[in-house]
Structure 1
Amino acid sequence: MDKVGGFKGIMNNSSRAIAQQRDSTRMRCKQSASSMQGMRELSRNSAIQAALQKGISEVCPKRMHSGKPKADTKRFHHGCRSLNLFQVHLEKNPVEKIKKEYAGISSCVLAFSGGKDSVLVASLLQKAGIKLTTATLDFGQEADFPAIRKLALRHSKKHCLVDGKGQLLANCHRGIKANCVAEGYLQATSFSTSVLASSLVDIARKGGIQAIAHGFSGVGNDQIRFENAVYALAPEKVVLAPIRDFNIKHEVVSGVNESFWAREIKHAGGSVPPGAFKLVKNKGGKPAKVQIFFENGMPTELYVMKGSRVGDTFGRGELIPALNKIAGAAGMGKFDIIVDKVIGLKQRELHEAPAAQVLVAAHRELESLILTSNEQHVKNEIDHTWNKLVYEGFWYSRLRLALDSFIDEIERSIDGSVTYEMACGGLNLVERKSHHALYDQRLSSTGAEGMFNQKDARYFIKLYGLENTLAFRRDLD
């Protein structure tokens, strides 16, 4: 009985194994059929994906990888942007949809940074039969412009490298005069996007190009700033936004906008990855003392102090990059914030703006020293409106120009210098001075040297509170 029972058990186990193998074979057949169907659907996109990966690998060959990225190779940095190397999700037949959606568009100029989005957009537009011109803006960022040009010419007939540093500097000076804070952080891409848009409008008009394209997503503010600028400057031009229009997605949203003014790092969440910050040193191990000079509200000169004497000096054009290095080494200018986007979404962003933080703080110090209380009150209101306009994409607007006129007039007296000591992320005010200063220590002092007669305050207080006293006594009666 034991032998028979054992034999039956063996047979039962064998039957179950055969059944499991049969079911497994059937499942693999079904999966194979499904995979073949999926491969047929994806084959239309494979050329685009291959071109995208090939282009990126040529620009940054050392950073390419297969499979799951290692901790130190999660990102590549190139041009204005740094994007994660993850699969791009395309809709079915994207080229055919682009041909249908953009019917009648034969020529286009594309904002091309060399990042994944701009490469993908260039490939899609090229395959859709649109004659493409690409343009890259030099904002003083770290970039291999010859490599970007080589990559761009794979998809376009012509590539333009535009020097945008001068116009960006002018925009930054306007921002400093308006104490450029919006949504709790120092504005940066608001200034560069307007330059990008105006440069592409110039290229389109000179070349008789129909459309202007960008690779911004439908989530952020850059799409609004860029397109509003194009519509204001060239309403006859058509704006193409394939990433948004065809709902192209990345598995991970992460990127960098960079210029000589600041770096903005879009970060999906979690801990900040190593190496995300380039300008700001976490430990702030290099203290510094600087003196910043202003004329008409704009920074004109930077002195780096060596004890009591002046060391290195920097003029208007080189002041901001130099201060970024000096203040960044002292730990200044790092921000981790949640931003309210214009379209209603919140997004986490990491910002590096050492020079901007110091310059705006110094500018505010001079305003408090020079402007009357009424002037400061109105100026604060104007600054708020100006920054809201620029943040929301209305750089090219009549209201912004009108506000500029007021700011220029009020800033005519903002001359002087501010001296700071910086260390471990802290900003210590040493001195503020101006020949336009309304502050006079002799007037404010109650000591023997004081020029103000304190007895005069008695009559002022009585007259100042007269109306309130009458109203209060009337209500009591």
Structure 2
Amino acid sequence: MKKFNKVVLAYSGGLDTSIIISWLKENYGCEVIAVVGNVGQKDELIGLEEKAIKTGASKCYIEDLTSEFVNDYIFPTIQANAIYEGKYLLGTSFARPIIGKRLVEIALAEGADAICHGCTGKGNDQVRFELAVKAFAPDMDIIAPWRIWDIKSREEEIEYALDRKIPISISYETNYSKDKNLWHLSHEGLDLEDPNNEPKYDKILELSNTLENAPDKATYITLKFEKGIPVALNGEEVDGVTLIEKLNKIGGENAIGIIDMVENRLVGMKSRGVYETPGGTILYRAHKDLEEICLDKETSHYKELVALKFAELVYNGQWFTPLREALSAFVSKTQETVTGEVKLKLYKGNIINAGMTSPYSLYSEEYATFGEDAVYDQKDSAGFINLFGLPITVKAKMNEALKKAGK
């Protein structure tokens, strides 16, 4: 193995990174600096610094990235309406670039000669972390233990931890792979690996109620947007982090945003997971609804194409790329008039539009009314249809001529 003196580890305190500190010291004899990116995982941060030091790290940084995460990553993705494969709201995906960026900043400041992560060789996160490192420190060495060590499963990881008395908070029976941040909570592994198994929602859900336990009475909320950014909830202006926290609580109570999907990973395989994204699901729906009255038809339809590509770039870890930046510039332009209020009705997993207004609304009741109006001449539609249908008319006449000619 190549010799490293100081390694910065992307540390979460989970099973993988808990044993990696010990593994790095055993195999490289190097100093290990743990870096925790606080993107809103809250209770998971408790005791992390003490745990990292006790298990061999020389120091542990816990970096508060929540505001930057919301304003520079989450909100631009909402503005784009970017959803991967029609379901996944990219909760893990856009959290990795910001953490990777901070890893590099600390590694350079500490004079480290390598960055280490605990991602498996089967997953997407290895790509997301490493592309972020390449964007800011292209010559930095990267250590990925899952690609080189002898451990083959999470069960063997648990054995490794127990043998070395490394404290872990899971057992063989509760060994779901989870990722939690301000935006979402994901669940993978165990019985979920068989797509034919119904998720044990009553056991795995942490942010959300089950549908059965959600209130029997609907909850109404109002969201205010300015240029595509949510700025107020029920008339109260709040910062982005607080807004998402409040919506997570409201949405979770009403069983909003529980997604069970089989997604196509970047590395080629399909993967089944359950995602809880209560607040995010509400924000996506409200934003999309508001765009219905604020964007013209051509921009709206083209933006749907952009959303698909934007989601792929985020999912694939390509946040720090010229194309993502260019698409964000397009999206920002489209959001100049996406200002207004949206009222939503939440009930047992459902989100129902209950009204919306905007000073930039392109909806005109005067034109759209079924009643009498003084602005629209219905006779004009005949000429429009003749021109719009001209290619069909010409094709039909050609077919008639060929038929008469016996062809």
Report the TM-score range of the alignment, normalised by the length of the smaller protein.
Answer: 0.7 to 0.9
Q: What is the number of residues matched between the two proteins?
A: 369
Kindly report which structure 2 residues correspond to 1:46-65, keeping only aligned pairs within 5 A, or say none. none
> Cα gap change, 1:236/1:458 in structure 2, threshold over 3 Å: closer, same or farther?
same
Choose the corresponding residue for 2:39, options 116, 119, 139.
139
Contact 1:288 1:327 (8 Å CA) reproduced: no
CA displacement, residues 77-108 of structure 1 (integer Å, 9 cap, x when unaligned): xxxxxxxxxxxxxxxxxxxxxxxx2x222111
Alignment-mate amino acid for residue 281 of structure 1? N
Aligned-pair CA distance for 1:315: 4.0
Per the alignment, in what secondary structure is the counterpart of residue 181 of structure 1?
A: coil
Q: Determine whether 1:207 maps to 2:104.
A: no
Choose the corresponding residue for 2:269, options 345, 355, 362.
345
Kindly report which structure 2 residues correspond to 1:66-465, keeping only aligned pairs within 5 A, or say none. 101=1, 103-128=2-27, 129-143=29-43, 145=45, 147-154=47-54, 155-170=56-71, 171-183=73-85, 184-248=87-151, 249-251=153-155, 254-269=176-191, 270=197, 271-272=199-200, 274-282=202-210, 283-285=213-215, 287-303=218-234, 314-449=238-373, 451-465=375-389
Alignment-mate amino acid for residue 280 of structure 1? S
CA–CA distance in structure 2, aligned partners of residues 116 and 133 of structure 1: 17
CA-based RMSD of the aligned residues comes to: 1.8
CA–CA distance in structure 2, aligned partners of residues 342 and 356 of structure 1: 23
> Cα gap change, 1:376/1:145 in structure 2, threshold over 3 Å: closer, same or farther?
closer
Q: Which runs of 4+ in 1 moved over 4 A?
A: none
Contact 2:231 2:237 (8 Å CA) reproduced: no
Contact 1:444 1:450 (8 Å CA) reproduced: no
In structure 1, stretches of 5+ residues that fail to align are 1-100, 304-309
Higher relative contact order (CA 8 A, sep 6+): 2
CA–CA distance in structure 1, aligned partners of residues 358 and 207 of structure 2: 31
Contact 1:292 1:301 (8 Å CA) reproduced: yes
Aligned-pair CA distance for 1:274: 4.2
In structure 2, stretches of 5+ residues that fail to align are 156-171, 192-196, 402-407
Alignment-mate amino acid for residue 229 of structure 2? M
Contact 1:117 1:243 (8 Å CA) reproduced: no
Query: Percent identity among equivalent residues?
Result: 29
Contact 2:13 2:51 (8 Å CA) reproduced: yes
Which is higher, the Rg of structure 1 or of structure 2? 1
Aligned-pair CA distance for 1:180: 2.6
CA–CA distance in structure 2, aligned partners of residues 273 and 463 of structure 1: 55
Aligned-pair CA distance for 1:146: 5.2
What's the TM-score, normalizing by structure 1? 0.74
What's the TM-score, normalizing by structure 2? 0.86
Alignment-mate amino acid for residue 416 of structure 1? G
Choose the corresponding residue for 1:469, options 393, 397, 401.
393
Contact 2:224 2:230 (8 Å CA) reproduced: yes
Alignment-mate amino acid for residue 106 of structure 1? N
Per the alignment, in what secondary structure is the counterpart of residue 317 of structure 1?
A: helix
CA displacement, residues 275-304 of structure 1 (integer Å, 9 cap, x when unaligned): 31111111211631101111111111111x
> Cα gap change, 1:247/1:345 in structure 2, threshold over 3 Å: closer, same or farther?
farther
CA–CA distance in structure 1, aligned partners of residues 178 and 268 of structure 2: 21
